[in-house]
Amino acid sequence: MELGLAHYLTLAAILFCTGILGLIISRNIVKILISIEILLNAVNINFAAFANFADLDEAKGQIFAIFIMAIAAAEIALGLAILIACYRNRHSVDIEDYTSLKG
């Protein structure tokens, strides 16, 4: 058995679905952020895999993975800042307490 693209993609898919699962079922806001990181990592694996198997000459996938990392860092920084701001108001990190969007 040769290690091919499909293996990496499968791994990324499993990781992605785990991320989705965590995103939906978590109650802790920090955990939701963690799930988002997992999602992004799954994507990164995909990018790196494609770069390796299809386009190693220019490695565009790796460049995009780098961009994604930067943006992930930005996202988590902002997200946590917002979390802290929210926490200051509600004194809770339980997502069930944040229902201002209720129609």
Partner 1 sequence: MEFFINNVWVIPALPLWGFLLILFGRAFNFYQNKYISLALTVGSTFIGFIFSIFILLYCINNPETNTRYNILWLDAGNLKFSVGWLVDNLAAMMLVVVTSISLLIQIYSHGYMEQDKGYHRFFAYLVLFNFSMLALVLSTNLFQTYIFWELVGVSSYLLIGFWFDRPSAAQAAKKAFIINRIGDFGLLVGTLALLFYSLNWWTSTQNVLLEFATLGQAGSLALANAGPVLFGLLAIGLLLGPIAKSAQIPLHTWLADAMEGPTPISALIHAATMVAAGVYLIARLYPVFELSTQVMTIMAWVGAITAFIPATIAITQTDIKKCLAYSTCSQLGYMVLAMGIGAYSAGLFHLMTHAYFKAMLFLCSGAVIHSLADQQDMRYMGGLRKKMPTVAYTYLIGTLAISGLLLSGFWSKEAILSSLYTQGKGLLLVIALITAFMTTYYMFRSYFMTFEGEYRGKAHFHKPSKVMTVPLIVLAIPSAIIGFLFSGSLKSIGIESFDRFVFNVHAIHGDHGGLFLPICSLIIALLGFLLAGVIYWDKLTSLYCSCFKNIQKQITPLYKLSINKWYFDDFNNLLIKYLILPISEFLSIFDKYVIDGLVNLCGLSTLYKGKALSLLQNGNVQTYLVTALLSFVAIIMVMILIYIV
Partner 2 sequence: MEVLQLLFFGMFALVIVVSALGAVFCKNIVHSIVSLVITFLSISGIFVLLNADFLAISQIIIYAVGITILLVFSIMFTTTKDDNNLWIAFKPRTLLAFVVAGSLFILLMFNITDKFTDFNKNPKLFITKAPKESTVKTLKEQGTTPIIGKQLLTTYVLPFEVLSILLLGVVIGAAVIAKKEEIPPC
In the complex, the residues that contact partner 1 under the rule CB under 8 A are 20, 23-26, 32, 95-96, 98-103
Q: For residue 3, count CB atoms less than 10 angstroms from its CB and return exposed for 0-12, middle for 13-18, buried for 19 or more.
A: exposed
Q: Which does 102 bind (CB under 5 to 8 A by kind): partner 1, partner 2, none?
A: partner 1
Considering the rule CB under 8 A, would residue 51 count as an interface residue with partner 2?
Answer: yes
Asked if 79 contacts 93 with a C-beta cutoff of 8 angstroms, the reply is no
Which is nearer to partner 2, 27 or 103 (by Cβ)? 27
Contacts of 34 (CB under 8 A, 6+ apart): 22, 26
- Nearest distance from residue 97's CB to partner 2, in Å? 10
